[in-house]
Amino acid sequence: MFRTIMPARGRPGRPAATAAALAAGLTLLVVTPSVAVARPTLSPGATPVVTRAALDPALVAGRGANVGFVEQEAENARTTGEIIGPDRSAYTLPAEASGRRAVRLTPGEYVEFVLPSAANGITVRYSIPDAPQGGGITAPLQVAANGKHLRTMTLTSQHSWLYNQYPFTNDPQAGLLHPDWWITECQCVPAATTPYPNITTPFRPTHFYDEQRLLLGRTYRAGDRIRLTAPPGSAAAWTVIDLLDSELVAPPRVRLLAANVLAFGADPTGRRDSADALDKAIAFARRTHLKVYIPPGTYQVNRHVIVDDVTIEGAGNWHTIIKGREVALPTPAPDGSVHTGVGFYGRDAADGGSRNVHLSGFAIEGDVRERIDTDQVNAIGGAMSDSTIDGLYLHHTKVGVWFDGPMRNVRVTNNIIVDQIADALNFHTGVTDSLVAHNFVRNTGDDGLAMWSEKTANARNTFDHNTVQSPTLANGIAIYGGTDTTVSHNLVADPVREGSGIHAGSRFGAEPFTGHLRITNNTTARAGTYELNWNIGLGAIWIFALDRSIDADIQVTGDAYLDSTYNAIMLVSDWPVKDLYSITNVQFRDIRVDGTGTSVVSARAAGSASFANVDARNVGAVGVNNCGSFHFTPAGSEFTLTDLGGNDGGWLAPWLLPNTITCDDRPPVSPPPPPAQW
């Protein structure tokens, strides 16, 4: 979701601590990451600790995507390095790490994982420094199994390290991109401030992590040891390892009766461009009613491949890789793009769109290193009705899947979408009757999964059983308007700034919420982030009336909000429109809140909500922080809470009802203990 950050919103308050956090350890790009604890003693590490989103899997059973890999956090492994974190301050390496902790290695140090189950492939999530002038560096990482060297991976920071204000820059020394915008660091508009404030560079570094996959060459058993070593002489002054995913990768899938792209001149070595060969194979397959098959290999493709009424299968996303560089266009395209790049696109909706497209079993590796919102450099794009996107690995594009409707009946399932400059997936404009399920998302530069009803409403769509981890900006799951939407059984963890776990927003010119919005049986962990523009904390779930009132039938049922940095639930309207728009009749039922830095509910709007069987513990401040629309009338807050019974934990005390003013604009944060079984 692209966004424009505007001047000050909300109420003035305490100066932010972000400038201090910035100066703590990232200023020179090659210094020690901030927030490190003392070097741990070398533990045996004999028993592997398996997690999901850095949590005990029992806490999130039945929620999130079914995936083929097993997650192990580096901080739980045997290491000679040092653990960094925990920290949730934006612009720090621990804040963007899964679980807010990672392991820092200097040359010669290692981290060693014990495999919990058989595996022949690993994914390493890591960070290394940027080049002093930006653009990234490369550095080696040695991989050994049971003490025997296997391979040396070449890590890169060329797709990491963004800086400054939206839409960001790759230049760490750049001055403010928008000196006429209000910034938290000085609580001012720099261009309107005399003397001009001192802005430390690099300003707001972010998007530090990348990940890389490696086939080990054979299958290793449970109990075998995988050691990652930053070798002596590395070009990287430090290497941060966040986690290791291990997987038993299936053999390549073979499709004999198909239009094999090799027969049309495709090059599986990646030396020659294969885009034209793919076009020929697709045209032949359509004439002969065959599928297109892309066998194992790496295929260079540097433009969009247009797909319509065709099935394209790879040998599996570890084996078939479609890889391309970003290419500058000689003149801007009609849609405003100044680049093109690798991607499979349906026809434009204005031209009727595409239908009956089925893509499965391959990876798309892009080379997008900067954010240009007009660029169509997404892995999957256009409009595709009656279509399926299944089992893909999407990496280093701007957005993994961006659909511009109107279109209907698309199924996006079982994909891995990681290291994106912007969203992982966005249903944009009139996408209807569609499903996004069992997708795994990590390290997006904007919303993980989004529905954006710009100009034409989305309708009857479902996000179900997805996992979204570590969006560095904005939300894990965001719904911007639309009709009859369901968000169910998802797991969202570790959003970093200006967003939260689950968000329903009347904003970005979206059509209104109508019909129902069902938010059901989801879990968030370590959500409820810092909102840069308002200088306040958000909720793990937050509902925001910016462009119009929200009065649809919104039911939030069965969710669990674990270890929320600030609030669990937030309902808010923007300061300039707080007397125009309200949020009414939101229903919360059967909710578990385990740990908040501040309140269970923060109300900063006019309106109402009801609560039934909402249980809370480890609440850091008053249960309800009720500011209403900040008029502080003798009759109480403009926001009314209704107690429908069964609300345990003492958070919804009788004296708070129905609309007692308890407004602390920026309450102090009391970090909760780690979540546990209820």
Please calculate the CA angle 142-148-152 and round it to the nearest 5 degrees.
20
* 3-state secondary structure (DSSP) of residue 240: strand
- So what's the pLDDT on residue 45? 54
How far apart CA 99 and CA 93 sit, in angstroms, is 11
How far apart CA 210 and CA 224 sit, in angstroms, is 25
Looking at the DSSP assignment, which residues form a beta bridge with residue 467? 440, 491
57 touches 65 (CB < 8 A): no
DSSP string, 249-312: PPPPP--SSSEEGGGGT--TTSSSB-HHHHHHHHHHHHHHT--EEE-SEEEE--SEEE-SSEEE
- So what's the pLDDT on residue 533? 87
128 touches 140 (CB < 8 A): no
Question: How far does CA 600 lie from the centroid of its chain?
Answer: 24
Which residue positions in the chain have pLDDT lower than 50? 2-44
Please name the residues in contact with 65: beta carbons below 8 A apart, sequence gap of 6 or more: 414, 437, 438, 439, 440, 465, 466, 467, 491
Going by the DSSP 8-state scheme, the letter that residue 370 receives in this structure is: S
134 touches 162 (CB < 8 A): no
Q: Parallel, antiparallel, or unpaired for β 119-127 and 210-220?
A: antiparallel
- So what's the pLDDT on residue 538? 98
Output the CA torsion sign for 625, 626, 627, 628: positive
Torsion of the alpha carbons at 140, 142, 143 and 149, rounded to the nearest 10: 140
Q: Beta-strand (E) ranges in 7-81?
A: 69-73, 78-79
- So what's the pLDDT on residue 18? 33
* 3-state secondary structure (DSSP) of residue 115: coil
pTM: 0.94
* 3-state secondary structure (DSSP) of residue 510: strand
Output the CA torsion sign for 653, 655, 657, 660: negative
- So what's the pLDDT on residue 22? 30
The encoded tokens of residue 651 equal 């958070």
How far apart CA 377 and CA 199 sit, in angstroms, is 32
What is the number of residues in the chain?
678
Phi/psi of residue 622, each to 5°? -60, 145
Please name the residues in contact with 590: beta carbons below 8 A apart, sequence gap of 6 or more: 557, 558, 612, 613, 614
- Residue 24's Cβ-side half-sphere holds a number of Cα atoms within 13 Å equal to 19
- So what's the pLDDT on residue 1? 53
